[in-house]
Amino acid sequence: MIDFSIRNADGAPSGLYMSLLPGVYRKHESCGGMIVVGEGAFGFLEPSIAKVSAEYSRPYSHWGVTALRREEWALVLVEWGALETSLTGGASDRVAGLRFITRDLENEFLQEADLNYIRLADFIREISLWLLTTLENHDVVSVLGI
């Protein structure tokens, strides 16, 4: 089952997770307020980030650290909103707008496609709300790769 959960960084499991951190990542400073999400779930959101951020579209950004400004996140949120709408609209071509990071993930998603469309849409709404709330007090939110 694809992990669409969003966790606080405190006590988060180790493994293939992506993180979102309020502010700019500084190696030896606190990462308060950071959330972590599964790599598979985050993979659905990455194309929108790469489309908006030249920094994130560079090779290997999935494994690095990228700080995005509030203005960039605003554009990402528009993209995510459109994706969420396409998932809940019941269109027959919903899967065409998705990027799967592995063939196994695609197979797993499609085995329970109707449920996973709903779960992914809920995930997008939840992470978008976290981001909107976070951007009220921060000019930058950083993506920390695996």
Q: Residue 146: which H helix or E strand, with range?
A: none
> In the prediction, which pLDDT does 97 show?
75
Q: What angle do CA 128, 19, 96 make, to 5 degrees?
A: 55
The answer to whether position 136 is within a domain reads: yes
The answer to whether position 83 is within a domain reads: yes
> Coil, strand, or helix at residue 86?
helix
pLDDT tens-place values along the chain, 146 residues long = 899 999 987 755 566 788 999 999 887 666 788 999 999 999 999 999 999 998 888 777 767 889 999 999 999 999 999 999 888 876 666 777 788 988 999 999 999 998 999 999 999 999 999 999 999 999 999 999 87
- Looking up tokens 């700080």 gives 67
Number of structural domains the chain divides into: 1
pTM of the full structure? 0.90
> In the prediction, which pLDDT does 91 show?
60
CA proximity to 75, closest of 54, 52, 97: 52
50 and 22 in contact (C-beta within 8 Å)? no
> In the prediction, which pLDDT does 59 show?
77
Burial 67-106 (b: 16+ CB within 10 A, else e): bbeeebbeebbebbeebbebbbeeeeebbeebebbeeebe
The answer to whether position 115 is within a domain reads: yes
- Containing domain of residue 95, as a range? 6-144
The answer to whether position 1 is within a domain reads: no
